[in-house]
């Protein structure tokens, strides 16, 4: 059987480039359905996409994460190709990513970016990506080189079991952590990355969106690695408890509220770590069962 491929393009004010992206998708995938999800654009993005032959839908809740959540919920396909509408990604490389996905039976293949022009990848963006990628690698153990790439290919069972919670550009971080914490097979492949055409405006803010990604990492550490999160806090309160006990001993104080509250918070953090970790195991088992209900689809099925 032939694979049902869906090309997903989240968009916000991309009237300068969306026609070229849709045309490239049509040229690359003659039988694929091309979806453009417009996220409250104030220009003619939706109209141009529709005239170019894409299936256009609108999402009122602002943010890339909100769009991805809707796309994953609404669209039925065997393979999902996600790219941006700014013409910076080489969509012609997507068949190679799909080939890796099918032949190696991966659930996600990320197109790591190799900039073709100096303007394509600003220095602060590159440094931020390296820092955040390294942080996620340390905290969650996923070995990726370009965590924030927007060119990705997914299997159906990944898309239909991924519980998207973020609303903005943090969605790529959430995709990576979900992959790592559920031990899903993934791969990377180098792809070309271009500068935005003249007149096209970059939506990503290095500092603002970087802080949002950091906050998402903190939230994911709490939900996906509660033992590490709470026992780190417990260790901090243990140090405070020892320090308070030492001060009370030196001052021969009859009462030591610092020692009492430090001990109380130490016990509370340890208990929370154990309880949340038990809940996490149940949630991961349910996710795995749901994941297994979708057989892997390839051209031989």
pLDDT in tens, 21-56: 999 999 999 889 999 999 999 999 999 999 999 999
Residue range 51-75: mean pLDDT, rounded? 94
DSSP state of 92: G
DSSP SS3 for 110: strand
What SS3 class is residue 231? helix
C-alpha span between 209 and 98 (Å, rounded): 29
**What local confidence, expressed as pLDDT, does residue 120 receive?**
56
Structure pTM? 0.85
- Report how far residue 249's alpha carbon sits from residue 181's, in angstroms, rounded to the nearest whole number: 45
Higher pLDDT, 301 or 82: 82
pLDDT reading at 226 higher than 70: yes
Beta strands in the chain (DSSP E): 5-11, 33-38, 55-58, 79-82, 108-115, 152-155, 186-193
**pLDDT greater than 70 at residue 184:** yes
Whether the pLDDT of residue 186 is over 80: the answer is yes
Question: What is the rounded CA–CA span in Å between residue 158 and residue 183?
Answer: 12
Q: Which CATH architecture has domain 5-223?
A: Alpha-Beta Complex (3.90)
In three-state secondary structure terms, 187 is strand
Look at residue 211 and tell me whether its pLDDT is greater than 60.
Answer: yes
Comparing 244 with 98, the larger pLDDT belongs to 98
**Cβ neighbour number for residue 131 with a 10 Å cutoff:** 13
Summarised one tens digit per residue, pLDDT across range 110-151 is: 999 887 666 556 666 777 778 888 888 889 988 888 888 989
């Amino acid at each position: 059987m032939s694979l049902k491929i869906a090309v997903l393009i989240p968009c916000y004010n991309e009237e300068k480039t969306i026609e070229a992206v849709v045309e490239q998708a049509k040229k690359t995938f003659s039988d694929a359905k091309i979806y453009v999800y417009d996220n409250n654009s104030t220009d003619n993005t939706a109209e141009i996409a529709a005239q170019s032959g894409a299936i256009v839908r609108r999402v009122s809740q602002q943010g890339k994460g909100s769009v991805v959540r809707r796309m994953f919920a609404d669209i039925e396909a065997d393979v999902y190709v996600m790219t941006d509408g700014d013409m910076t990604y080489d969509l012609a490389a997507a068949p190679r990513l799909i080939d890796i996905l099918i032949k190696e039976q991966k659930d996600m293949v990320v197109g790591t970016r190799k900039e073709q022009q100096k303007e394509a990848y600003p220095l602060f963006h590159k440094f931020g990506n390296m820092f955040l990628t390294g942080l996620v690698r340390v905290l969650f153990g996923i070995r990726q080189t370009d965590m924030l790439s927007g060119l990705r290919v997914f299997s159906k069972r990944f898309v239909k079991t991924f519980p998207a919670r973020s609303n903005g550009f943090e969605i790529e971080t959430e995709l990576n952590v979900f992959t790592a914490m559920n031990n899903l097979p993934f791969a990377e492949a180098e792809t070309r990355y271009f500068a935005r055409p003249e007149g096209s405006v970059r939506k990503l803010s290095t500092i603002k969106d970087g802080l949002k990604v950091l906050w998402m990492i903190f939230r994911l550490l709490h939900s996906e690695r509660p033992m590490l999160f709470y026992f780190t806090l417990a260790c901090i309160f243990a140090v405070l408890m020892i320090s308070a006990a030492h001060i009370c001993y030196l001052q021969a104080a009859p009462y030591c509220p610092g020692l009492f509250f430090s001990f109380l918070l130490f016990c509370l953090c340890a208990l929370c770590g154990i309880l949340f970790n038990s809940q996490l195991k149940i949630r991961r088992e349910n996710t795995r069962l749901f994941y297994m209900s979708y057989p892997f689809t390839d051209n031989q099925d």
